[in-house]
Amino acid sequence: MAVVFPNEEPKSSEHYIGVDRNTRGHIAVVADTESGKIWELGKMRYHIHKKYENIKKRLYNMGKYKQLKAVKNREKNIVNDLNHKISRKIVDVAL
């Protein structure tokens, strides 16, 4: 059994936003051309990385590899969540 969805015509929009990735230490900088507003998103990414880099270095030197793996996974999950929140914010700005 096949499911068929009707093709929707793409919507034309005159509203544009500009997105720059990794400018001035942020993950993304979003500019709305109509309102002139600028959003700088993800500044804390660098601080998160430095914090967990120090923790991972200490655990590696102590030989606690199981805890090291858990910390790596925690950092990865935090960054993935941050990226998801930023992408959602960009989509909200675009709409």
Domain ranges of the chain: 17-86
What whole-number distance in Å separates Cα of residue 94 and Cα of residue 80? 21
Distance (Å, whole) CA 60 – CA 43? 27
Distant-in-sequence, close-in-space partners of 20: CB < 8 Å, separation ≥ 6: 28, 29, 31
Q: What is the pTM of this model?
A: 0.72
How many Å apart are CA 37 and CA 82, to the nearest integer?
21
pLDDT of residue 34: 84
pLDDT of residue 93: 79
Q: What is the mean pLDDT of each run of 10 residues along the chain (95 residues)?
A: 83 80 80 87 87 96 96 95 90 80
